[in-house]
Amino acid sequence: MTFSFTTLGCKLNFAESSALGKALIERGHTRAKQGEQADLCIINTCSVTDTADHKDRQIIHRIRRQNPNAILIVTGCYAQLKPDEIAHIDGVDYVLGQNEKFHLDEFVEQLELRAKSQEPKAAIHISPIREVDDFHGAYSRDDRTRCFLKVQDGCNYFCSYCTIPLARGKSRNPSIAHVVEEARHALAGGAKEIILSGVNIGDFGRSTGETFLGLIENLDDLSSLDYRIRISSCEPNLLSDEIIDFVAHSTHFAPHFHIPLQSGSNDVLRIMGRRYTRELFAERVAHIKAVMPNAFIGVDCMVGVCGETEEYWADYVDFIESLPVSQLHVFTYSERANTRMLEMDLTVVPQKERERRSKILHEISARKTERFYREHAGEAATVLWEGSQKQQADGSKLMYGFTENYIKVSCPYDKRKINTFERIVIPTMA
């Protein structure tokens, strides 16, 4: 049977789709070639916003049109949260929950038999996700030499605006030994850069009595000199000074952090149910910059949540402007069913105002990124060259890569450089 995957959303989804694809191949199935109609189509969905749900539905319809005779399976966060809604979409054969998707390879044949029976409504296989204790590891290589390694899943925080705990379940993780072994496999397979991925990776150790600091200490010594590791999004209350100091003096960890802020107003942070203040956030940023002046710091920011008054918004913008961060990842708030925020008596920010605020933060982000690039121009750095290329007007080609502190650079295309490290001087921006 030939199969195809369509994956939406976070890097965790992409890592999991990669693991599921490998399991199907091990059972004798083959990946459909580009443009070829598949016998089995799996859509791994996202549901972080209403926009994500809408995009999921569009993709489901498109995949069905392109593969009219295929078995169509929908899984992921949207499937876990709204299985009945998906089951009523014409052409969907199966809806699998977050836990069930990891058993996909075990019952593909029985799924095929049911599909041939032409039952009118999709079959739903969903477990109560908060009761799931299983951790399913995964890692994936993208087309740019990186490997996304899943080290944690789920979240116990239940912020007032968020459905991730309902979609992903409780916080859980494998052992340090398991992650180290997966990392070794990834490096043996040719990966040169590993990104530690999860829902709340700073919470690593909850299942095993270990710590995230212990994990990164072990990953810094994998008996290989030719690799580096990046830490994906880590909550500021879990990003301790000890972790920051270790990264600063480590051999293989990149000076690159991604820290969720969500709001620069303490009042809004309380409404959101976040577990830190903006003062703590500022302390974390200051400590990073004190021990790693060249560190790239990305920040998750949300705009337009219920209760974000004009006064709180102005306070938020002032705080963001004051931070020596490198880039903002901006999300526009979207009302989500079964969240506490909808039960609160709060001011609702109009949609157009949400969009205006988002635009302001995107503009601030662009300025901060440009400033970061200019500050580090002329410095020595190590770039990992990727396979992607871009045709120039004169017919020549450029290839791209990122330095350890996440500055994107280019050079004339040279196939021999793909997936290799090179010491360079960061160029001045044009």
Q: Where are the domains of the chain?
A: 2-127, 132-376, 380-425
CATH code for the structural domain at 2-127? 3.40.50.2300
User: Is 31 in contact with 67 (CB distance < 8 Å)?
Assistant: no
User: Is 101 in contact with 20 (CB distance < 8 Å)?
Assistant: yes
Record the pTM: 0.93
User: In percent, how much of the chain has pLDDT > 70?
Assistant: 95
Distance of alpha carbon 409 from alpha carbon 4, whole angstroms? 33
Tell me if 2-127 shares its fold with 132-376. no
Q: Which pLDDT belongs to residue 389?
A: 83
Q: What is the pLDDT of residues 205-245, one digit of tens each?
A: 999 999 999 999 999 998 777 899 999 999 999 999 999 99
Q: Which pLDDT belongs to residue 252?
A: 97
Q: Which pLDDT belongs to residue 143?
A: 56
Distance of alpha carbon 214 from alpha carbon 222, whole angstroms? 14
Average pLDDT of span 371-380: 97
Q: What is the pLDDT of residues 141-183, one digit of tens each?
A: 655 578 999 999 999 999 999 999 999 999 999 999 999 999 9
Average pLDDT of span 291-308: 98
| Window from 36-45, 69-78, 98-107 with minimum mean pLDDT | 98-107
Q: Which pLDDT belongs to residue 142?
A: 58
On the question of pLDDT at 394 being above 90, the answer is no
On the question of pLDDT at 199 being above 60, the answer is yes
CA 37 to the chain's CA centroid: 29
User: Is 296 in contact with 326 (CB distance < 8 Å)?
Assistant: yes
On the question of pLDDT at 119 being above 70, the answer is no
Q: Which pLDDT belongs to residue 114?
A: 59
- Structure tokens that stand for 259 in this block: 């820290």
Mean pLDDT of the chain: 93
On the question of pLDDT at 384 being above 90, the answer is yes
Average pLDDT of span 101-110: 79
- What residues pair up with 423 in beta bridges, in sequence order? 382
Residue by residue, DSSP assigns 362-398 as: HHHHHHHHHHHHHHHTT-EEEEEEEEEEEE-TTS-EE
CATH class of 132-376: alpha beta
